[in-house]
A and B are shown apart, each in its own frame.
Chain A
Amino acid sequence: MEYKISNRLRTGAIILMVLGVLGVGYGFMDAYSVNEDNITEYLANEDHHGDEHATESHGEEHSVSAAHAEEGHADEAHGAEVEAEGHKMTHEEHVLHQLHNRPYAALYVAAFFFFMISLGVLAFYAIQYAAQAGWSPVLFRVMEGITSYVLPGGALVLLIAFFADSHIFIWMDENVVAHDAIIQNKSGWLDKTWFMIRGLIFLGGWSAYRHFSRKFSVAQDLADVNDNSNFKKNFRISAAFLVFYIYTESIMSWDWIMSVDPHWFSTLFGWYVFASMFVSGITVIALITIFLKSKGLLPFVNDSHIHDLAKFMFGISIFWTYLWFSQFMLIWYANIPEEVTYFVTRIEDYNLPFFGMVALNFLFPLLLLMNSDYKRIPWFVVMTGVVILFGHYLDIFNMIMPATVGDRWFIGIPEIGSILFFGGLFMLIVFTSLGKYPLLAKGNPFMKESEHFHY
């Protein structure tokens, strides 16, 4: 079956991107409209208009959290951004930093979110090859389409990290590092050049696997019936990729996400991010498969395939919750000051997104996808999928925002603009790539099993 990206879809994606650019541009203008000169006025105004914020309590709350950061710093635990250039930052400076960080952070969260979907799909694809799965080969071309976003998406994440610099990664600010003994001890690892080199190595490895697996997969289509050499090559490089992936994914999570809180650390973090990307990736496979099937383009995909994808969405959602809970509960239970600040700020300032995401990522899929009949109903899977994706956007949001904008978070124009831009780009690249080769990888030796798959 051939697929060509329709003009409507292409135009739609481009409109999303244009809207996104406008939103992001507005976000930057809005953030930088407040500067050293008018920040005092801005804060005074804010207190004035802050009816919905309950003026007094807001001010109080803020001073409490600032005091907390100071105290934490005395414990050498938290609050690198409070101190710069050797003197204590004033409240105004602190707020100004947070305001200015917001559009960068919004951009970064959305960029990482869409990138992690494609990387999650790449890992899922490699696992299907390495496990010699008999059900999924009919979905390989859909997965290959989604993974075409790995290289551009990952490059954009790195570029934003490079240009946002200390707007996202406080350890990239030399002034901060000069006065922060904890970060200095880590400077062997947290170094901008070394960070970029590592990032390029990860990206190089992932996209090399993506390139060759796609190449062999297409070559297998044209090969003789009894010639499985391209399949075998794919099998081998998939196993090798998975080894590379398990290491680089962990390190990537420490680099690209955990280091936004350079004083904080958690050994589970890499695997936790993995669960998030894996479930989002599988969800997008399901959504795109259902979309293409609704156009009549995947006649060989039946509701058993959808059922299996939905089972993975269900299972990995629970797995994600397991890791979320393990990380949270262990830190909450031991309550060691240097670790617990991470969750203290999230519970104080991000209460709804922090606990809301657990409802979205756990309760919804648990209840909606428990029934095996529901897992075969496309609109049901789509509905749950949308909830899961939103939940995992919030997950990334909760990881990045507290360290960059603190309690000045909001999901407004910069955030939505960034989602629109990267969403549009993702659609454009993925659907263009889907149109390049037939949607059935017919040379795969498990293809017949997969086409007749019935559960």
Chain B
Amino acid sequence: MASHYEAPIRRPLVTGEKSYHDVTVDVARPVEGKANRAWWIVFSIALVAFLWGIGCIIYTVSTGIGVWGLNKTVNWAWDITNFVWWVGIGHAGTLISAVLLLFRQKWRMAINRSAEAMTIFAVFQAGLFPIIHMGRPWLAYWVLPIPNQFGSLWVNFNSPLLWDVFAISTYLSVSLVFWWTGLLPDFAMLRDRAVRPFQKKIYALVSFGWSGRAKDWQRFEEVSLVLAGLATPLVLSVHTIVSFDFATSIVPGWHTTIFPPYFVAGAIFSGFAMVNTLLIIMRKVCNLEDYITVQHIELMNIVIMLTGSIVGVAYITELFIAWYSGVEYEQFAFLNRATGPYWWAYWCMMSFNVFSPQFMWFKKLRTSIMFSFFISIVVNIGMWFERFVIIVTSLHRDYLPSSWTMFSPTFVDIGIFIGTIGFFFVLFLLYARTFPVIAQAEIKTILKSSGERYKRIRENGETLAGTG
């Protein structure tokens, strides 16, 4: 792919004196070892949250949507806020594995596996909401265009909610296939190292008999490239379709053409923040600091800064056009956001999303792991508020003042959200114990061009022969 020459001003992507074998050992260690106490504690907390969420879901479905805080005016609130939030988080995984692959960003190799896992687990959470927020979720299969005994009663393809069904399910399937394909050589590595028969059997099963022949690798690369080329428009269109849920409406504050690219930018923004949150902990816990280096965190911070600025431009554009349009409903919608009863949500969103990423212009701050971790949390809270503000503040006060109202969530709304966070971490924690969290096969392809040790050898003018 790239040339063997690398400019000396590029910093190493793998630090320490790593050889191919070291990479294997480092990646396999968490899988081959035993879970420690801390893991069990965190896992139990996540599991409890998950079970609590299941309880809330069962309560909602069996009692009725009325147990939520929704009302006749605000008929979408936490359900769809959480849905869009989780879908948005899921997008960074595909961005990292697909878009950064198309742009030949070698630094993605240390983070793509976990980012894709994050995508898949986040899309699971997102996928819950469209079903559980239905009044009659047991009829959910009616959204599928299946021939039936109602004289082939069909779905109406004009609704963005139906497009959501196709978008999310396609997105989940393609992401899953993309992720699993990339896992084959790594599972094969675990299979070949396994000493216990049970583990050997499992990893033999999931690695589909990968034997790493030249022809396999050639096809593997081609498939990755094609999937990346397909996943990129997919990732844009999925969040675009999610944004269509609002933008196709005629609700002031929702009906605006910038939503498609702006939601996508917001998704990258929040997704990268979540990747940062997870990886900053993972590199420490799994001793992967030599692979997920400060440079990786810095680069993710730069992406956060960039997409945060794009989101900022979109906010300002919306404000300007609301004034420029001369449409009083539109003007009021934005006035209401800034000064209405939900002003605190709006200003949380503004300060967390627009101002906080601007700190990343300072090298000292964006290379500080503590600060990055802090900002990554702040951004995710801000992006949750963004969806909340867009959805609730536009609904609670629109055309008819006689329909104005307020929204406040009940414990069930909150409980389900907490439940999805618990479910997400249950999955992610299990993943971190059983999957190779770094794509070791890919790391090995850049070791000699971008590994610290090999860079040093080359810069000293010595030969790489015999360095292994």
Interface residues of chain A, those whose CB is within 8 Å of chain B, are 132, 134, 182, 185-186, 189, 228, 243, 246-247, 250, 254, 265-271, 315, 318, 322-323, 326-327, 329-331, 333-334, 336, 338, 445-446, 448-449, 452-455
Contacts and interface: CB of A to CB of B under 8 A. Distances in A.
B310 interface: yes
Nearest to A183: B326
B255 A323 contact: no
B5 A268 contact: no
A243 B321 CA distance: 20
Interface string B310-328: 1001101110110011110
Select the residue from A228, A331, A334, A448 with max chain B CB neighbours within 10 A. Answer: A334
Given A228-B9, A267-B258, A246 B310 contact: yes
A246 B321 contact: no
Interface string B1-38: 11111111110000000000000000000000000000
Contact of B257 (A132, A186, A267): A267
Contact of B321 (A185, A265, A329, A336): A265
A265 B324 contact: yes
B244 interface: yes
Interface stretch (B145-153, B245-253, B384-392, B439-447): B245-253
A124 to B, nearest CB: 14
A303 to B, nearest CB: 14
28 contacts: A132-B10, A134-B7, A182-B326, A186-B324, A228-B9, A246-B309, A247-B313, A247-B316, A265-B324, A267-B314, A267-B321, A268-B260, A268-B261, A271-B258, A322-B237, A323-B260, A327-B257, A329-B248, A330-B244, A330-B247, A330-B255, A331-B257, A338-B327, A449-B3, A449-B6, A452-B3, A452-B5, A453-B3
Contacts, number: 95
Interface string B272-309: 00000000000000000000000000000000000001
Given A247-B313, A267-B317, A338-B327, A333 B248 contact: yes
B9 A267 contact: no
A445 B255 contact: no
Contacts of A334: 248-250, 255
Contacts of B248: 329-330, 333-334
B3 A268 contact: no
B261 A267 contact: no
Interface string B199-242: 00000000000000000000000000000000001001100100
Given A246-B313, A322-B236, A326-B240, A448 B7 contact: yes
Contacts of B318: 267
Which 3 pairs between the two chains have the least Cβ-Cβ distance? A267-B258, A268-B257, A326-B260
A301 B174 CA distance: 36
B158 to A, nearest CB: 8
Given A323-B261, A449-B3, A453-B2, 19 more contacts: A182-B326, A186-B324, A186-B326, A228-B9, A246-B309, A247-B316, A250-B317, A265-B325, A266-B321, A267-B258, A268-B258, A268-B261, A322-B237, A323-B260, A326-B257, A330-B244, A336-B250, A338-B327, A454-B2
A132 B261 CA distance: 25
Contacts of A134: 2, 7
B261 A271 contact: yes
B3 A454 contact: yes
A178 B258 CA distance: 32
Contacts of A182: 326
Contacts of A228: 9
Contact of B5 (A186, A336, A448): A448
B119 interface: no
Contacts of B261: 268, 271, 322-323, 326
A6 B406 CA distance: 72
B5 A449 contact: yes
A426 to B, nearest CB: 29
